[in-house]
């Protein structure tokens, strides 16, 4: 059934905006009038009868305007409505009314339309892969199969909000050093390309040989002032080259190995992977998704080919009867603490609870380590800028001192 966005006036003359399903534009107008409102503008957005290719393109276009935070909020609202005993279709109607983003509201209307036609919620959600991840869809499928969709949606909302909160805290910790770094580079670039040439003009008429630091500073200033565009071009070529290399299997594998072996970053990258693995696997198992299926989903969110290979091997070994903890113990990429907690969980029959505890522990460690790193970066940046400024001052003062000695 076609979906229409409309603008109308209520009896008090207040402007209303909303979304409505109807067989035609005339039918939409009649529904708006029956609700006691006066239609001003009606536009068709997405149609349930649209051909698959066109429909998918529309979804991709709309998907770019939907934030994950909006998905988390909508998930919790839907869980609340279902938990209150409201059937799925009326609950989706209520969700449409509460959603302010027109693009997301239209997508929810299309999902409701498919559910109304007899499709499962899982099938309707799978039409929007840019909005709903594989984890989301598989957990909903498990919830529908077990008859506990409201509980699963509540768990999904908690999972999404926890991940978003961790990401926000890490981003907030990195904003200040990045901002200070950009300001520092900008100030130094201005100093070297604008201020230094004016000062060094004093030495142009001097016949004496300039000190090596001063020659280097003048050459650097000239190069940056006249060939800055070439430096930007080389930087762009380097970035494009790196992105191309990372898009190739060998380049990606080398980069993934560096992330897990590079001193200084090895520990934090391994713990980030452990936190993602634990949190995601715990959520999937808690929702009733089988372990074998859950591992196939988890490997895609780790964003590392080496870890994905370990999980692929683990899935194969599980079919032979080995335990997950024994399989992961053979890999050097999974920490002993995580392996031990998985072993305890398997023995006690509470694997998802132990994974949840492990994820919480690793997330706290990651946050503490990143805060420690950023606190170290700030003094290092200040020291670095101080050394550069000191070099510039010395390079300028050295020839002045030498000229004074010659005059005397």
State pLDDT tens for residues 29-87: 888 888 888 777 777 764 444 444 344 434 444 444 788 888 989 999 998 988 888 88
Q: What is the per-residue pLDDT for 406?
A: 59
- Are 96 and 19 within 8 A, CB to CB? yes
Q: How confident is the model at residue 1 (pLDDT cuts 50, 70, 90)?
A: low
Conformational region of residue 210, where left means phi above 0, alpha means psi within -120 to 50, and beta covers everything else: beta
Nearest-angstrom CA–CA distance, 22 and 45 = 12
Instruction: Give CA–CA dist 161/343, Å, rounded.
Output: 28
At 168, is the pLDDT very low, low, confident or very high (cuts 50, 70, 90)?
Answer: confident
- Residue 67 confidence (pLDDT): 85
- pLDDT above 90: residue 162: no
**Sheet of 38-44, strand order:** 15-21, 3-9, 38-44
Q: How far from the centroid of its chain's Cα atoms is residue 38's Cα?
A: 43
β-pair partners for 38: 9
pLDDT band at 117 (very low <50, low <70, confident <90, very high): confident
For residue 120, pLDDT over 80 is answered with yes
Cα(145)–Cα(261) distance, integer angstroms: 42
Cβ atoms within 10 Å, residue 183: 11
Task: Categorize the per-residue pLDDT at 6 as very low, low, confident or very high, splitting at 50, 70 and 90.
Answer: confident
Beta-carbon neighbour count of residue 404 at 10 Å?
A: 9
The C-alpha atoms of residue 5 and residue 408 are separated, in whole angstroms, by: 86
**Of the candidate ranges 164-178, 180-194, 233-247, 297-311, the one whose mean pLDDT is the lowest:** 164-178
**pLDDT: is 325 or 170 the higher one?**
325
Give the pLDDT confidence score for residue 61 in this predicted structure.
Answer: 41
| 93, 28 contact by CB (below 8 A) | no
Average pLDDT, the chain: 82
DSSP string, 86-139: --HHHHHHHHHHH---HHHHHHHHHHHHHHHTT--HHHHHTT-TTTS-HHHHHH
Angle of helix 351-407 versus helix 149-190 axis, rounded to 10: 10
137: pLDDT strictly greater than 80 = yes
C-alpha angle 1-82-162 in degrees, rounded to nearest 5:
105
What is the C-alpha separation between 353 and 342, in angstroms, rounded?
10
For 355-379, what is the mean pLDDT? 86
pLDDT tier at 340 (50, 70, 90 boundaries)? Answer: very high
Q: Average the pLDDT over 382-393 and give the result.
A: 88
Inter-CA distances, 105 with 6, 88, 158, Å: 12, 16, 22
Residue 270 burial (CB < 10 Å; 0-12/13-18/19+)? buried
| Model confidence pLDDT, tens digit, residues 193-244 | 888 888 777 776 666 677 888 888 888 888 888 888 998 999 999 999 999 9
Burial of 407 (0-12, 13-18, 19+ CB in 10 A): exposed
Question: Which pLDDT belongs to residue 57?
Answer: 38
Dist. CA 108–CA 128, nearest whole Å: 10
Q: How far apart (Å, rounded) are the C-alpha atoms in residues 45 and 4?
A: 6
Q: What is the mean pLDDT of residues 169-187?
A: 83
């Amino acid at each position: 059934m076609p979906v229409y966005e409309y603008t109308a006036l209520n009896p008090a003359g207040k402007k209303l905006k909303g979304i409505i399903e109807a067989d035609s534009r005339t039918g939409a107008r009649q529904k708006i009038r029956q609700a006691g409102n006066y239609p001003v503008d009606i536009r068709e957005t997405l149609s349930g009868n649209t051909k698959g290719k066109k429909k998918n393109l529309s979804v991709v276009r709309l998907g770019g305007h939907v934030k994950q935070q909006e998905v988390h909020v909508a998930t919790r609202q839907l869980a609340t409505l279902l938990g209150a005993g409201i059937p799925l279709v009326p609950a989706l109607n209520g969700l449409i009314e509460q959603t302010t983003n027109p693009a997301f509201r239209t997508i929810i209307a299309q999902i409701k339309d498919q559910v109304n036609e007899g499709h499962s919620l899982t099938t309707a959600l799978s039409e929007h892969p840019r909005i709903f991840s594989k984890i989301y869809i598989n957990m909903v499928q498990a919830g529908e199969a077990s008859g506990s969709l409201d509980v699963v949606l509540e768990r999904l909302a908690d999972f999404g909000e926890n991940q978003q909160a961790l990401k926000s805290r890490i981003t907030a910790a990195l904003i200040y050093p990045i901002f200070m770094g950009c300001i520092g580079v900008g100030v130094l670039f201005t100093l070297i390309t604008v201020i230094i040439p004016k000062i060094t003009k004093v030495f142009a008429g001097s016949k004496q040989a300039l000190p090596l630091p001063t020659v280097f500073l003048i050459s650097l200033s000239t190069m940056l002032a006249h060939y800055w565009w070439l430096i930007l071009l080389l930087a762009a070529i380097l970035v494009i080259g790196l992105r191309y290399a990372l898009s190739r299997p060998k380049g990606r594998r080398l980069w993934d190995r560096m992330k897990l072996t590079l001193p200084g970053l090895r520990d934090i990258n391994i713990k980030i992977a452990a936190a993602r693995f634990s949190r995601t696997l715990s959520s999937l198992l808690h929702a009733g998704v089988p372990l074998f299926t859950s591992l196939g989903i988890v490997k895609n969110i780790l964003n590392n080919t080496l870890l994905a290979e370990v999980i692929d091997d683990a899935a194969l070994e599980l079919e032979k009867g080995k335990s997950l903890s024994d399989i992961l113990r053979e890999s050097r990429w999974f920490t002993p603490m995580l392996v031990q907690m998985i072993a305890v969980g398997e023995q006690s029959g509470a694997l998802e609870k132990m994974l949840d505890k492990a994820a919480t522990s690793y997330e706290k460690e990651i946050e503490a380590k990143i805060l420690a790193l950023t606190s170290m970066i700030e003094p290092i940046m200040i020291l670095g800028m101080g050394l550069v400024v000191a070099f510039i001052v010395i390079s300028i003062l050295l020839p002045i001192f030498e000229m004074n000695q010659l005059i005397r």
